Amino acid sequence: MEPVEKTPVAMLEFEHPIVELERKIQDMRHFTSTENIEFKEEIKRLEKKLEKLKEEIYSQITPWNRVQIARHPKRPYTLDYINGIITDWVELHGDRAFADDAAMVAGMGKLNGKSVAIVGQQKGRDVKENIKRNFGMPNPEGYRKALRIFKMAEKFGLPVICFIDTIGAFPGIGAEERGQAEAIARNLREMAVLQVPILIVIVGEGASGGALGIGVGDRVLMCENSWYCVISPEGCAAILWSDRAKAAQCAEVMHLTAADLIKLGVVDDIIPEPQGGAHRDPKAMIDTVKEYIVREMQALLKVPIKELVDRRIEKYYAMGSVVE
């Protein structure tokens, strides 16, 4: 729901010492091979130091650090996963009512040789692409395009995979005029009873109804450094502290990490990321996500659809915590 302040830098502040040391080691290696100067001992020493440093920094990673990792511009986005995992991909456009929303990608492709329908929010990597993609914040037509694909998947018996990566549905005049709330609400209702398996993967950011609008499913997986909550840390800070700068503080109390959400029963499994986050080895991340998706989908396809939908509804009925 919140606008991105600016494109974040390619290096996160907390990983700065690691990246610096890595550079130093690389330089020494370069010298060793080109100038014939022996740095072997020194390189060995620094590599040991690097390992220790990584252990130290990554073991103390805070929820806010994870939010930063989830926003890293080199982190794989929805289309990176589709390109790396899916074959015979055909992207489909438009909600058949108003427009095509580039913040929401939709289409069909094959996962391990079997056809599936895929929907996901898509961010841009540079300013130009981000303007086209509206920073991954869909308008109502994005949610209606998604619904069109869900219903088509149901018609042809194709399982659905949704990739979530958004700081929220776009808060704009046109979005309100065209019924952002209605578009999201309708998706929630239709996804709850859709007669095909639905697998949700939260790959980056997941805030508010903008994320949930394509996020109701049989299994919800979350990448280790992604986050998911009722509002972005900035939005929470603006409302509760009247100060967006308190976002880091907010992230600490919102219970938005994968580990938190497993405990709350909102998420079913965590997909591990390469050390330091997906941006440090995107290829490895995409392979891991594929492995998880294939395994989960095989399991879902074994369950009779009626039973699957009943279980899906029961799962959501059980969510929440009250005192009686």
3-state secondary structure of 214: coil
Single out the segment in contact with another protein by CB under 8 A; choices: 21-29, 48-56, 79-87, 205-213.
205-213
Exposure of 91 in the CB half-sphere (CA atoms within 13 A): 13
Instruction: Decide if 135 contacts 176 (C-beta within 8 A).
Output: no
Residue 3 within binding range of another protein, rule CB under 8 A = yes
d(CA 312, CA 189): 12
Question: Could you tell me the smallest distance in angstroms from the CB atom of residue 160 to another protein?
Answer: 15
β-pairing, 104-111 with 87-91? Answer: antiparallel
Binding flag, residue 208, another protein (CB under 8 A): yes
Q: What distance in Å separates the CA atoms of residue 167 and residue 182, rounded to the nearest whole number? A: 19
* Distance in angstroms (rounded) separating the CA atoms of residues 277 and 71: 11
Q: Smaller CB distance to another protein: residue 232 or 288?
A: 232
Q: 202 in helix, strand or coil?
A: strand
Q: Is 281 in the site for another protein (CB under 8 A)?
A: no
Closest approach, Cβ 75 to another protein, in A, equals 21
User: Any contact of residue 159 with another protein (CB under 8 A)?
Assistant: no
Q: Which is nearer to another protein, 111 or 212 (CB)?
A: 212
Among 261, 286, 293, 297, binds another protein (CB under 8 A): 261
Does residue number 321 form part of the binding site for another protein (CB under 8 A)?
yes
What is the DSSP track for 256-318?
-BHHHHHHTTS-SEEE---TT-GGG-HHHHHHHHHHHHHHHHHHHHTS-HHHHHHHHHHHHHT
The phi and psi torsions of 199 (rounded to 5 degrees) equal -115, 125
255 interacts with another protein by CB under 8 A: yes
180 in contact with another protein (CB under 8 A): yes
**Contacting another protein (CB under 8 A), which of 264, 284, 299, 301?**
264
- x/- binding map, residues 211-240, to another protein, per CB under 8 A? -xx-xx-----------xxxx---xx--xx
Give residues in contact with another protein (CB under 8 A): 1-3, 169-173, 175-182, 184-186, 188-193, 208-209, 212-213, 215-216, 228-231, 235-236, 239-241, 253-256, 260-261, 264, 266, 312-313, 316-317, 319-324
